[in-house]
Amino acid sequence: MPAPDPVDGDEHTETETRALLAELGTTMIATGQPVQEIEEELAEVSAHLGYPDVQSAVGPTGLMLTLTPGGPATFRAAPPGLRLHQSADVRVVRHRLLTDQLTLREARDELAAAMRRPLQRPSWLVALAWPVLATGIALILQPGWANVAAAAVGALIVLALVQLAERFEVVKALLPTLAAFAVSLVVFGAANAGLLEGPLRTVLPSIAVLLPGALVVNGMSELAAGHMQAGSARLAYGLAQLGLFALGLLMATALLRVPTSTMVNLRVDDIGWFAAPVGLVLVGASICLMEGVPLRLQGWVLLVLALAFGAQVAGQQLGTVALGGFCGAIAASLGASIVELRHPLLPRLVLFLPAFWLLVPGSLGLVGVTELAAGHESVTDVALGLLGVAIAISLGLLVGSAVGRALRGRFAAPVDPASPRPA
């Protein structure tokens, strides 16, 4: 048989490389990374594979990519969001590509396997993690015995609605409003009966896992990095979701005829100083259960979570909520980057996201929107408060990731340029 045309072989390799990078990029979108980080990391992989002139346009729902200016381009839509155990696999694939441990075909097969990999946890254990997570957040946000119990009950209601949303499209579309409405009925009903105080902050732990805090902050960080289309789209979607949650809460309070004096940002502290450390452990353990975080990562997740929480509390003590969010975001992003630098197979994103969720910017926004509707705050105060916290956390993420990249460039082991490239 005649030998294959080398030009055809080059074209085949280029096509395979472009398809691999498109698959890698869209799975990274599904992990929740900001688009500026995805573009930088795709460029790093592409340069290592022999295509340093790659150009990509990444958005929240897909990407366009070409290996050479004016060359063929590929568009690929992003899959649904991935759990953290799948995100860990995606990160490992990227690392193995950079260290020449995978061929192009093997890398695509590994990505496909990561997308299909199920959660290796019993369903009853995953269900148990929902009230445990709500209990942990309540111990931090609203540490009262009755409030913690109400948050756990509310989490079970939210879990039931989430399972219904997987079966019925109408429930999925109305999930934010239905969840906030159902939980608010229970919590504000208990407050009307005199069973608890501070119901507004008690609602938050039960629905915190659904709140769009990550959307708002990622949108702000993308805008700050110059990605106007992705940032504005993500920010608008997050604020719309926040409005749907507030609508459900206000519908419940109107139905129960809750007086506006009850809808204030009141913190209850009946448990004592140990509530926050216990809550921190519960939050970390429950997220690891819900997201299938591998056992080898769980200790590191708790470490980064503790660093972020400590920095957030210190910032709040020294200044404001916004300063706490800024310090917490730096600690989470930089701490995860340092761990990944020392242990490259421990993915930074998986270590960082649980700490990011603990910053609960969406919770603060929901409190502000609700107080606005109740007449306790002005539009300007609510808008400035929400944007201030979101901007502070976004800047913290940018600072932490920039310092992390500088450390990787300074201390990471270089890849031998003479090593063979995957085919």
Segment 91-95 shows an average pLDDT of 89
User: Residues 174, 45: one domain?
Assistant: no
pLDDT of residue 6: 39
Give the span between the Cα atoms of 123 and 28, in whole angstroms: 26
pLDDT exceeds 60 at position 375? no
For residue 310, count other CB atoms closer than 10 A to its CB: 14
Angle at 347 between CA 345 and CA 353, to 5 degrees: 160
Residue 204 one-letter amino acid: L
How is the beta sheet containing 73-77 ordered, strand by strand? 55-58, 62-66, 73-77
User: Residues 133, 91: one domain?
Assistant: no
pLDDT-based confidence at residue 417 (cuts at 50, 70, 90) = very low
User: Residues 23, 153: one domain?
Assistant: no
pLDDT-based confidence at residue 383 (cuts at 50, 70, 90) = low
pLDDT exceeds 90 at position 32? no
pLDDT of residue 373: 52
Angle at 358 between CA 251 and CA 230, to 5 degrees: 80
pLDDT of residue 403: 83
pLDDT of residue 360: 57
For residue 209, count other CB atoms closer than 10 A to its CB: 20
- Dig out the tokens for 74 from the structure: 């590929």
Segment 78-100 shows an average pLDDT of 88
Give the span between the Cα atoms of 46 and 210, in whole angstroms: 35
pLDDT exceeds 90 at position 197? no
User: Residues 289, 164: one domain?
Assistant: yes
DSSP state of 210: G
Number of domains in the chain: 2
pLDDT of residue 160: 94
The reply to whether 423 falls in a domain is: no
pLDDT exceeds 50 at position 92? yes
The answer to whether the beta carbons of residues 26 and 76 sit under 8 Å apart is: yes
Please spell the DSSP secondary structure of 226-287, one letter per residue.
Answer: T-HHHHHHHHHHHHHHHHHHHHHHHHHHHHTT--GGGSS------S-TTHHHHHHHHHHHHH
122: phi then psi, degrees, rounded to nearest 5? -60, 145
Q: Of 66, 98, 117, which residue is a domain's last? A: 117
Q: Which pairing describes strands 55-58 and 62-66: parallel, antiparallel, or unpaired?
A: antiparallel
Q: Of 117, 144, 175, which residue is a domain's last? A: 117
User: Residues 112, 128: one domain?
Assistant: no
Burial of 359 (0-12, 13-18, 19+ CB in 10 A): buried
Q: Find the DSSP H helices in 292-320.
A: 295-318
What domain range is 283 assigned to? 123-410
User: Between 273 and 129, whose confidence is greater?
Assistant: 129
pLDDT of residue 316: 79
Helix (H, G, I), strand (E, B) or coil at 165: helix
Which position has the token pair 């294959």?
4
User: Residues 307, 229: one domain?
Assistant: yes
User: Residues 108, 147: one domain?
Assistant: no
User: Residues 102, 186: one domain?
Assistant: no
pLDDT of residue 381: 59
pLDDT exceeds 70 at position 52? yes
Segment 32-36 shows an average pLDDT of 87
pLDDT exceeds 50 at position 421? no
CA distances for 51 relative to 62, 77, 100, 132, 193, angstroms? 21, 22, 15, 47, 67
Segment 375-384 shows an average pLDDT of 55
pLDDT of residue 423: 43
Segment 336-360 shows an average pLDDT of 77
- Dig out the tokens for 250 from the structure: 């206000």
User: Residues 86, 233: one domain?
Assistant: no
The reply to whether 420 falls in a domain is: no
- Residue 82: which region, alpha, beta or left (left: phi > 0; alpha: psi -120 to 50)? beta
The answer to whether the beta carbons of residues 81 and 214 sit under 8 Å apart is: no
Q: Of 68, 93, 117, which residue is a domain's last? A: 117
For residue 115, count other CB atoms closer than 10 A to its CB: 17
User: Residues 128, 113: one domain?
Assistant: no
Classify the C-alpha dihedral 325-330-331-337 as positive or negative. Answer: positive
The reply to whether 103 falls in a domain is: yes
User: Residues 105, 141: one domain?
Assistant: no
The reply to whether 131 falls in a domain is: yes
User: Between 47 and 422, whose confidence is greater?
Assistant: 47
pLDDT exceeds 70 at position 5? no
pLDDT of residue 246: 82
User: Residues 324, 349: one domain?
Assistant: yes
pLDDT of residue 269: 80
Nearest alpha carbon to residue 279 among 99, 422, 406, 136: 136
